[in-house]
């Protein structure tokens, strides 16, 4: 009786929603359905509501369905950026610095929404935010996921965990009053000693973190003249990883210096972010642990350019110079060594909405275009734990679909001008024109 009642209730609840599920049919000239395989020529994707219903060969029509004609385009899964910070205004770092004392939480929140939309309209339907104001980013994530605001799906870390004086320590290089404010306003994301690092992980999880980020080494844009070498102790990293595992959270480690990269890999992280300096041992550890490498080649290039036009402090500029010369060398070797690579840009160091410029840097340094596309779709989805929902165009997956009017295999820069964007079945860009769609 109970089960009959339950199924009657389920039917009653399901029927109105199903009735609203509009059907969209996409006719694709070229379809990259599974980025690990060869593309299909002349295919149809049927989308019902938020979900991909079927992929069929040829141009098939469904009675009553909306038809999106992309017969002269390449249709592919929505792109995924594994490393962004949806805040700040890197379009002009000098200007941002001047404005810092007058901007408040609300200003940053609206900026984050604008940056999220630029990202979505650039074809990135999913991003992982690896360091931000926790309240801001979790609120934005939840509003987008609820369909209240248009934006990419966000997997968020909250604040990155840092040692005192390390990268992500909000107090570094600030005056006394701002340091005091940073202490007061933030949940404490710094930790010193293994026990304290367990606490720091738990606090980010308590606030709503999907993933844990920590800094194993110095960072370019933290205002501390302490280089890019390892700064966190192995027992602190191990405590972070072990604690995150208990909450079923994955761990991403920022690491530039080779000792930091290798220590993070030994601690068992899921991904190394930047991975700027490497040696034989790094590649042995990548293979042994199966960890992902998220190269973020755009970031050192953008930081160096900022330094050259006087937008960085001396401490930052010195580190930018050190990183810029080595990031692409480590990337080129990682291709030859067969390391697992997930697409990530560290956008916020470079301008939002231009994430796809990373592809050209990857291809220029030895990656095949097909592999670069795979890194930003199914591979990034796997790193983010979203492989059942995103990363390919297959029945049952979220309808996150984009298109470009050229051939990205012949010219990877086609991905820098995406002409069509659908996320969860909603069209946000058509024929290159934005048409952001929010709640029905």
Binding site for Zn ion (CB under 5 A): 346
Residue 384 or 412 having the CB closest to Zn ion: 384
Residue 253 or 392 having the CB closest to Zn ion: 253
In whole angstroms, the minimum distance from the beta carbon of 219 to Zn ion comes to: 8
In whole angstroms, the minimum distance from the beta carbon of 234 to Zn ion comes to: 22
Residue 120 or 130 having the CB closest to Zn ion: 130
In whole angstroms, the minimum distance from the beta carbon of 413 to Zn ion comes to: 24
Region label for 302, one of left (φ > 0), alpha (ψ between -120 and 50) or beta (otherwise): alpha
- Report the Cα 20 to chain-centroid distance in Å: 31
Pull the structure tokens for residue 132.
Answer: 């931000």
Contacts of 205 (CB under 8 A, 6+ apart): 212, 244, 247, 249
In whole angstroms, the minimum distance from the beta carbon of 405 to Zn ion comes to: 32
In whole angstroms, the minimum distance from the beta carbon of 129 to Zn ion comes to: 9
Residue 88 or 151 having the CB closest to Zn ion: 88
Residue with tokens 């995406």: 418
In whole angstroms, the minimum distance from the beta carbon of 346 to Zn ion comes to: 4
In whole angstroms, the minimum distance from the beta carbon of 357 to Zn ion comes to: 16
Residue 213 or 374 having the CB closest to Zn ion: 213
Residue 203 or 346 having the CB closest to Zn ion: 346
Cβ atoms 394, 33 nearer than 8 A: yes
What angle is formed at CA 86 by the lines to CA 84 and CA 90, rounded to 5 degrees? 90
In terms of Cα–Cα distance, which of 154, 104, 105, 98 is closest to 130? 154
| 372 vs 328: CA distance, rounded Å | 15
Burial class (CB in 10 A: 0-12, 13-18, 19+), 381: buried
298-308 vs 357-364: helix axis angle to the nearest 10?
100
Residue 218 or 369 having the CB closest to Zn ion: 218
Q: Which residue is nearest to Zn ion (CB)?
A: 346
Reduced to 3 states (helix: H, G, I; strand: E, B; else coil), residue 24 is: strand
């Amino acid at each position: 009786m109970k089960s009959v009642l339950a199924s009657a209730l389920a039917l009653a609840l399901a029927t109105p929603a199903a009735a609203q599920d509009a059907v969209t049919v996409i006719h694709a000239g070229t379809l990259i359905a599974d980025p690990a395989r060869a593309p299909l020529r002349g295919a149809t994707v049927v989308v019902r509501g938020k979900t991909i219903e079927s992929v069929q060969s040829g141009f098939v029509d469904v009675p009553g369905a909306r038809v999106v004609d992309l017969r002269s385009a390449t249709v592919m899964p929505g792109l995924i950026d594994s490393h962004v910070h949806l805040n700040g205004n890197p379009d002009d770092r000098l200007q941002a610095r001047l404005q810092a004392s007058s901007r408040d939480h609300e200003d940053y929140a609206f900026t984050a929404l604008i940056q999220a939309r630029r990202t979505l309209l650039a074809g990135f339907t999913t991003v992982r935010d690896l360091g931000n104001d926790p309240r801001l980013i979790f609120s934005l994530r939840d509003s987008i996921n609820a369909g209240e605001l248009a934006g990419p799906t966000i997997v968020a870390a909250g604040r990155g965990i840092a040692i005192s004086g390390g990268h992500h320590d909000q107090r570094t290089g600030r005056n006394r009053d701002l340091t005091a404010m940073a202490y007061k306003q933030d949940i404490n994301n710094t930790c010193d000693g293994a026990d304290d690092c367990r606490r720091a992980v738990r606090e980010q999880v308590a606030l709503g973190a999907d993933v844990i980020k920590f800094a194993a080494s110095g960072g370019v844009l933290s205002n501390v003249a302490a280089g890019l070498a390892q700064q966190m102790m192995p027992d602190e990293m191990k405590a972070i990883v072990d604690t995150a595992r208990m909450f079923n959270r994955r761990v991403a480690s920022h690491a530039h210096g080779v000792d930091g990269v290798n220590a993070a890999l030994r601690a068992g992280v899921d991904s190394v972010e930047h991975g700027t300096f490497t040696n034989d041992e790094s590649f042995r550890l990548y293979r042994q642990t199966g960890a992902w490498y998220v190269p973020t080649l755009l970031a050192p290039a953008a930081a160096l350019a900022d330094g050259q036009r006087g937008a960085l402090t001396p401490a930052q500029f010195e580190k930018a110079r050190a990183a810029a010369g080595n990031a692409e060398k480590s990337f080129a070797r990682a291709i030859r060594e067969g390391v697992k690579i997930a697409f990530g840009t560290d956008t916020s160091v470079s301008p939002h909405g231009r994430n796809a410029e990373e592809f050209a840097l990857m291809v220029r340094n030895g990656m095949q275009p097909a592999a670069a596309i795979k890194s930003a779709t199914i591979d990034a989805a796997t790193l983010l734990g979203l492989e059942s929902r995103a990363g390919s165009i297959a029945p049952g997956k979220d309808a996150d679909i984009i298109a470009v009017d050229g051939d990205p295999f012949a010219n990877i820069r086609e991905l820098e001008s995406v002409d069509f964007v659908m996320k969860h079945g909603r069209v946000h860009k058509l024929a290159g024109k934005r048409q952001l769609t929010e709640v029905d």
